[in-house]
């Protein structure tokens, strides 16, 4: 039950709101109980109001009852305007009088009760004597006259509004304006009255109105909805009218409080609630409704068969909700306001942005967009662990696979508390809310056991919520997966890329193949899916592989951290997916809440001093000018702070302005702590767009890019773009702008960038009405606009040329066209692609159960070099041997002893990174592979980030000076130094990626030499000398007989290498030969199995699966 009571305080009275499991009328005042419970208060300081204008329906009508007042309210940095009729003020006045009357009766009852108790006649027999100390809990509430005055609303206050002094017609409005201003000053000068239910509803405010993280205050009011579960009906205010004669309240329609924000529409049971009953997160709308009526509207008026009913609908994504209000004017108000909020720049969430992305490009102004890269698991995991440890409010985690027992720091014996579940448990106990979204796999196809992960995570603490999605049977989705890898902390820092928080991913630049006895990789974290996939992950500390016989498969990956608006764009994607999964999986489960996306412009208070601190302190001092007493107070002396100004659709705002402020100082700085309050908002200079104009911060074809891949307009906007020293790479301090630090060279500098979040989603994965393939569009566009050089690392490389009817993504076509353009222009252009040597699935390449491995290899070879659909085949026909001057393919391999004195082993380094670097200026990092599954949008869900450097450094390209991007260049240099084994003092040798001295003499030569050495020592597969399965079987049998035990890909070296010289047999230690290897780079075996059709055959189960599964 919910009730209200009046408690005496030193400064007057305040209303207390009592709440229990059953929600009842907030205006039920007949039962009062004393409690120390502090109610939610919407206003923490007094708001101010200004009468902007007074209007009347007929210029000749002088009746004050028909006047309408345009009132502008201000609270802290929030401003909003309301149009109120005189009747609204009278309703408010009488409601406040009613409240005061009932409370006065209650006070008299309490005084009588106290008097009877003191006489020993009341309920309690114990009498408190005057000379005894009275315990605080038994002190009765003494309501003095001053307290009653502060609460009272005298009838004379409203009299001037009803009967303004008569005079000339022109003066009626002026006098009414003065009278209304005085009345508003009266109740806005009392904190207790301002926080009453009646006044809050009159002001159209709620607990969400002034939360800066959700953006400016827009429209709010009661509406009727039908789609929500039944709310308690003992609150008469929930009825659409007070009349019982009609059945309009008995047809599942119920009253809720609607809150419109720039990015969503939320429904609350009551304005004083903070948890929404439902929320519509705005997303890109279709370009046409199919009827030729133009772009689909977010909100649209609908005609009801009953003329007394006024309704409209809000349709976004896969949802369409019907709402009713009291009048047709309110319908028009809501429709205009919702459409305006969904389409207004800079976000314009209902319009597609560049590449068709849901998110606009960020960093066009100094908005705090920053990024930092991490190479391999150790660097990324340690940064993620630090961010989790510093979390203050909430953590979002999204993954394809998550292992709760994963050690985030190593050696694991000395970092026992760094297990993921331990980190999450510690934060959950501190009150941090943790939301984890897992991919629900098809158990027959994958062994990642998300059921175990969910059960383990839910057992940590009640503040940990977990959802698995999709439900395969109900959704009909069996082939596709949720493939994003996200960690978002406090909406302030986001980690994304190729790394799941699971076993097998932790690694360093050394890429060790052995760990015996266990020190770095405990139990099942010593992982090699080519050899064996565990059937159970529950006994995590038990080894799956024999460490003395089998190497682990080293894992190469790239991750990044982002701060600022792009981080909140990624969080918005998570919220969208979480809410969609919640509605489908747990619609009535109260423990699984709906989430609300935060507005990009919010910066938390703990990031340091900023102009908002001065603004807030100034507001606090100004608020003291409002007198808290009965008499009319003078108008507030608040200064006009242009923050969070809403653009109402009712035409009351004569000077429309974008959201934001004039203050230029609010930058999001990297931080590893949580989010509570906000810094001031930045005023954007992007002009509003028409309803049919797509919001594209840049054009899709990059026409606005200059020859350095930078926005030409930004040369003017950013005259102080950084130009670093030529030796910056050798001398830089990692993370010198915040972010994370590391001395290994595996953590990049924290750089200011232009960033855009791109993704692959559709109706099944995120509930969107449109298929978004912005990752695919970004890849093709960047390739087309590349000037000198493209570097790609990816887990897969499956794509199609124009006219390919099977493979639909066109990354390959973009590469082919760009290479041909360079050839025709007689210009140097390089494309380097690094992919795994063999797919990371279980089974020998000739085994009966390895059809999946061979199927993926078929599609990759079809893309690269086999058949008329491959890029090398088409380029060879036109370019001949010069083809390899333009494009080449590589893999990674590592070696080492399994233990001291043990066998020498080798394994491929599994390339799992998903990056593309263009001209050392622009980078794509994310979770998307280059195949149809990841890029088409309608299949696997993916997330990525396009990063364009703003901080430029001196470099070289094609033998000439070049302004490279600090983020992109440093990432490439780190990757190449690892792959090529280049030492710190030799970095200048690889700074120019296109000249022959780098590309041919270092990159290609190193790959060729390393490949030859590995072949001499191991004869490992795949290689260019095995062209058929028969030859493969012969080779395997020969080496097993010669070596004895070996791995599935021939990864064990013989005890001694035999060579013949002058008829003598010489034996050498394999390690001596392997010491000549530099880094991990090897050539990709283009001729492996070239005589075989690697597609599944009829007696293999994969033959009956859709080929789309493999590409």
SS3 content of the chain, % helix, strand, coil (to 5): 30, 20, 50
Instruction: Choose among 458, 526, 939, 914: nearest CA to 450.
Output: 458
Q: Which of 483, 600, 718, 897 is catalytic?
A: 483
Give CA torsion, residues 552, 558, 559, 565, to 10 deg: -170
> Which residue has 């703003």 as its token pair?
950
Contact between 532 and 329 (Cβ < 8 Å): no
* Backbone phi, psi, residue 839, to 5°: -55, 145
Tally Cβ neighbours within 10 Å of residue 112.
11
Contact between 819 and 829 (Cβ < 8 Å): yes
What are the structure tokens assigned to 946, written together?
């396009």
Distances (CA, A) of 867 to 146, 331, 845, 1110: 92, 61, 21, 18
Q: How far is CA 285 from the centre of its chain?
A: 20
Tally Cβ neighbours within 10 Å of residue 722.
14
Q: Which of 490, 668, 920, 949 is catalytic?
A: 490
Known catalytic residue: 914?
yes
Instruction: Choose among 901, 899, 898, 870: nearest CA to 883.
Output: 870
Please give the Cα distance from 533 to 550 (Å, whole number): 13
- Cβ neighbors of 713 (< 8 A, separation 6 or more) are 704
Contact between 748 and 739 (Cβ < 8 Å): no
Instruction: Choose among 597, 595, 599: nearest CA to 579.
Output: 595
Please give the Cα distance from 451 to 955 (Å, whole number): 50
Contact between 228 and 222 (Cβ < 8 Å): no
DSSP code of residue 1037: H
Contact between 486 and 570 (Cβ < 8 Å): yes
Q: Which of 914, 950, 1080, 1111 is catalytic?
A: 914
Contact between 995 and 958 (Cβ < 8 Å): yes
What would you report as the CA-atom Rg of the chain, rounded to the nearest whole angstrom? 34
Contact between 313 and 300 (Cβ < 8 Å): yes
Q: Which of 143, 219, 582, 912 is catalytic?
A: 912
Please give the Cα distance from 316 to 283 (Å, whole number): 6
Distances (CA, A) of 47 to 187, 544, 626, 627, 655: 10, 65, 9, 12, 22
Please give the Cα distance from 1084 to 972 (Å, whole number): 20
Q: Which of 84, 392, 482, 485 is catalytic?
A: 485
Whether residue 856 has a cis bond before it, omega within 30° of 0: no
Q: Kind of pairing, strands 220-225 and 264-268?
A: unpaired
DSSP code of residue 705: B
Q: Kind of pairing, strands 904-908 and 220-225?
A: unpaired
What are the structure tokens assigned to 208, written together?
């969400």
Question: Which of helix, strand or coil describes residue 1034?
Answer: helix
Known catalytic residue: 919?
yes
Q: Which of 515, 919, 920, 1049 is catalytic?
A: 919
Element (H, E) at 754: strand 751-761
Please give the Cα distance from 525 to 538 (Å, whole number): 12
Q: Which long-range contacts (CB under 8 A, 24 or more apart) does 581-584 make?
A: 581/437, 581/467, 581/469, 581/470, 582/467, 583/767, 584/469, 584/470, 584/471, 584/474, 584/475
Beta strand spans in 927-981 (E): 942-949, 952-957, 960-965
Known catalytic residue: 912?
yes
**Residues with active-site annotation:** 483, 485, 490, 912, 914, 919
């Amino acid at each position: 039950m919910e009730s209200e009571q009046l408690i005496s305080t030193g400064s007057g009275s305040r209303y207390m709101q009592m709440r229990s499991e059953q929600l009842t009328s907030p205006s039920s005042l007949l039962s009062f109980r004393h409690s120390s419970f502090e109610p939610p208060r919407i206003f923490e300081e007094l708001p101010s109001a200004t009468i902007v204008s007074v209007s009347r329906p007929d210029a000749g009508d002088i009746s004050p009852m028909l006047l309408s007042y345009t009132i502008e309210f201000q609270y802290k940095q929030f401003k909003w305007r309301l149009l109120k009729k005189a009747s609204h003020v009278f309703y408010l006045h009488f409601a406040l009088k009613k409240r005061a009357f009932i409370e006065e009766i209650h006070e008299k009852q309490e005084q009588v009760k106290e008097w009877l108790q003191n006489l020993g006649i009341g309920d309690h027999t114990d009498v408190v004597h005057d000379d005894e100390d009275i315990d605080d809990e038994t002190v009765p509430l003494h309501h003095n006259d001053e307290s009653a005055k502060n609460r009272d609303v005298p009838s004379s206050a409203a009299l001037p509004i009803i009967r303004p002094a008569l005079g000339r017609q022109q003066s009626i409005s002026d006098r009414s304006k003065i009278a209304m201003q005085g009345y508003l000053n009266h109740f806005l000068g009392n904190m207790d009255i301002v926080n009453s239910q009646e006044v809050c509803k009159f002001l159209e405010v709620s607990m969400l109105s002034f939360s800066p993280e959700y953006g400016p205050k827009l429209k709010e009011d009661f509406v009727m909805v039908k789609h929500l579960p039944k709310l308690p009906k003992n609150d008469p205010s929930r009825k659409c009218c007070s009349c019982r004669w009609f059945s309009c309240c008995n047809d599942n329609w119920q009253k809720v409080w609607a809150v419109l924000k720039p990015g969503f529409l939320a429904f609350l049971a009551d304005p004083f609630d903070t948890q929404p009953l439902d929320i519509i997160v705005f997303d890109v709308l279709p370009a046409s409704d199919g009827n030729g009526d133009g772009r689909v509207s977010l909100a649209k008026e609908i005609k009801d068969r009953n003329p007394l009913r006024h309704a409209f609908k809000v349709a976004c994504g896969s949802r369409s909700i019907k709402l009713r209000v009291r009048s047709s004017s309110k319908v028009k108000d809501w429709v205009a306001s919702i459409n305006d909020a969904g389409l207004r720049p800079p976000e314009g969430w209902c319009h597609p942005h560049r590449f068709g992305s849901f998110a606009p490009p960020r960093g066009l102004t100094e908005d705090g967009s920053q990024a930092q890269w991490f190479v391999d698991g150790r660097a990324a995991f340690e940064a993620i662990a630090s961010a989790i440890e510093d979390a203050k409010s909430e953590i979002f985690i999204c993954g394809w696979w998550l292992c709760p027992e994963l050690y985030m720091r190593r050696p694991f014996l000395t970092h026992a508390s760094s297990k993921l579940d331990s980190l999450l448990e510690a934060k959950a106990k501190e009150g941090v809310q943790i939301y984890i979204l897992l991919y629900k796999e098809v158990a027959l196809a994958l062994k990642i056991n998300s059921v175990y992960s969910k059960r383990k995570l839910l057992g940590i603490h009640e503040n940990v919520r977990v959802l698995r999605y999709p439900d395969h049977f109900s959704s009909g989705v069996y082939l596709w997966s949720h493939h994003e890898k996200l960690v978002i902390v406090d909406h302030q820092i986001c980690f994304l890329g190729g790394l799941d928080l699971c076993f097998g991913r932790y690694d360093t630049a050394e890429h060790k193949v052995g760990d015996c006895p266990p020190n770095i990789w405990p139990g099942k974290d010593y992982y090699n899916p080519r050899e064996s996939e565990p059937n159970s992950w529950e006994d995590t500390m038990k080894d799956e592989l024999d460490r003395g016989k089998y190497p682990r498969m080293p894992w190469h990956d790239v991750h990044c951290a982002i701060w600022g608006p792009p981080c909140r764009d990624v969080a918005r994607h998570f919220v969208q997916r979480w809410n969609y999964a919640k509605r489908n999986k747990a619609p009535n489960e109260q423990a699984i809440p709906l989430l609300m996306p935060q507005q990009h412009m919010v910066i938390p208070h703990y990031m340091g001093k900023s102009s908002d601190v001065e603004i807030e302190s100034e507001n606090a001092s100004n608020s003291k000018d409002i007198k808290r007493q009965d008499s009319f107070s003078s108008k507030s002396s608040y200064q006009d702070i242009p923050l969070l100004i809403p653009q109402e659709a009712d035409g009351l705002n004569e000077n429309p302005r974008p959201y934001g402020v004039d203050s230029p100082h609010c930058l999001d700085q990297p931080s590893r702590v949580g989010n509570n309050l906000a810094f001031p908002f930045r005023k954007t200079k992007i002009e509003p767009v028409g309803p049919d104009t797509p919001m594209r911060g840049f054009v899709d074809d990059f026409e606005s890019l200059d020859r350095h891949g930078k926005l030409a307009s930004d040369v003017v906007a950013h005259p102080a773009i950084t130009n670093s020293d030529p030796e910056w790479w050798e001398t830089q301090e990692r993370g010198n702008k915040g972010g994370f630090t590391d001395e290994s060279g595996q953590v990049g500098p924290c750089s200011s960038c232009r960033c855009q979040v791109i993704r692959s989603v559709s109706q099944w994965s995120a509930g969107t009405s449109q298929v978004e393939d912005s990752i695919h569009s970004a890849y093709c566009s960047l390739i087309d606009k590349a000037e000198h050089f493209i570097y790609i690392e990816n887990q897969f490389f499956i794509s199609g040329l124009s006219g390919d009817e099977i493979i639909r993504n066109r990354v390959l076509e973009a590469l082919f066209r760009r290479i041909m353009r360079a050839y025709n222009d007689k210009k140097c252009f390089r494309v380097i692609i690094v992919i795994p040597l063999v797919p990371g699935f279980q089974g020998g390449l000739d085994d009966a159960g390895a059809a999946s491995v061979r199927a993926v290899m078929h599609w990759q070879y079809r893309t690269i070099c086999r058949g008329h659909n491959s890029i090398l085949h088409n380029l060879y026909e036109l370019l001949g041997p010069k083809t390899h001057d333009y494009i080449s393919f590589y893999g990674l391999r590592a070696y080492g002893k399994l233990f001291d004195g043990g066998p020498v082993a080798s394994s491929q380094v599994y390339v799992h990174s998903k990056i593309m670097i263009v001209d050392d200026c622009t980078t794509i990092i994310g979770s998307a592979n280059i195949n149809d599954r990841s890029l088409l949008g309608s299949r696997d869900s993916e997330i990525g980030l396009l990063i364009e450097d703003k901080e430029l450094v001196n470099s070289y390209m094609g033998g000439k000076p070049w302004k490279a991007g600090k983020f992109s260049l440093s990432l490439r240099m780190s990757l190449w130094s690892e792959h090529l084994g280049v030492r710190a003092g030799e970095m200048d040798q690889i700074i120019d990626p296109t000249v022959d001295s780098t590309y041919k003499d270092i990159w290609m030569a190193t790959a060729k030499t390393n490949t030859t050495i590995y072949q001499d020592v191991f004869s490992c597969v795949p290689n260019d000398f095995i062209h058929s399965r028969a030859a493969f079987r012969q080779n395997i049998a020969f080496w097993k007989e010669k070596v004895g035990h070996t791995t599935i890909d021939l990864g064990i070296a013989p005890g001694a290498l035999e060579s013949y010289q002058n008829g003598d047999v010489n034996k050498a230690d394999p390690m001596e030969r392997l010491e000549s290897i530099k880094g991990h780079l090897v050539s990709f075996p283009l001729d492996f199995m070239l005589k075989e059709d690697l597609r599944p055959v009829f007696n293999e189960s994969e033959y009956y699966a859709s080929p789309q599964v493999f590409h």
